[in-house]
Amino acid sequence: MSYDPQKHHRRSLRLKGYDYSKAGAYFITICTYNRQTLFGEIIDGKMQLNQLGEVVAEEWERSAQMRQEIELDYSVIMPNHLHGIVIINNVGANDNVGANGRSPLRMKSRSISSLMAGFKSAVTKRINRIPYHGEQLTTPVPVWQRNYYEHIIRNETSLNQLRQYIIENPLKWEIDQLHPNNPSKW
């Protein structure tokens, strides 16, 4: 089905007027396309990554290595989503944090949206290079949902609560709202 602005009222999940390249801490959730369980399984309350989950883990860590302004805090890869705390640091007064030169409508460099776009793209490219049932895919398949959820972490209490949520997430997988068999969705 194609996008029809008369029928589909897509709303931004972003805080209106907030600069997501601003130094601070952010809680991120990224879901797989159609919430497919692609990255492994929970066994005895612990996430066991499969080959695709390992790709996600490697690219998540690479994100911080490639971007000097990014620091990764707690994170967890779940069967169909990733939760992570991302900290954007001030990288220097002379650094130009602004439009990335392509279009005024494009995302800002050194922002959460720029990080998410690069991360999701890198994971998708690598996963689509992995042979599927012994054969190379000829058409790329989607890995991620179009958007992501982010929450601006405003204080230490919130930061610590979100860290605890991340730690406990695998233990609570059976009742997680993103679990494919969660009865609250029926």
Give tens-digit pLDDT for 63-103.
989 888 899 999 999 999 999 999 998 755 444 333 333 33
Nearest to 24 by CA among 93, 81, 71, 61: 71
129, 51 contact by CB (below 8 A): no
| Buried b / exposed e along 7-16 (16+ C-beta atoms within 10 A) | eeeeeeeeee
**pTM for the whole structure:** 0.78
pLDDT at 135: 67
pLDDT at 132: 72
Taking only the tens place, the pLDDT of each residue in 124-166 is 999 999 887 666 666 788 999 988 999 999 999 999 999 999 9
Domain spans in the chain, listed from the N-terminal domain onward: 24-173
Q: Calculate the average pLDDT of the chain.
A: 81
Domain 24-173 has CATH 1.10.10.10: no
Question: Half-sphere exposure of residue 52, counting CA atoms within 13 Å on the CB side?
Answer: 24
pLDDT at 7: 54
Runs of H (alpha helix) within the chain: 51-66, 112-129, 156-168
- DSSP helix/strand/coil, 68: coil
The strand ranges marked E within the chain are 24-31, 40-43, 46-49, 70-77, 81-88, 149-153
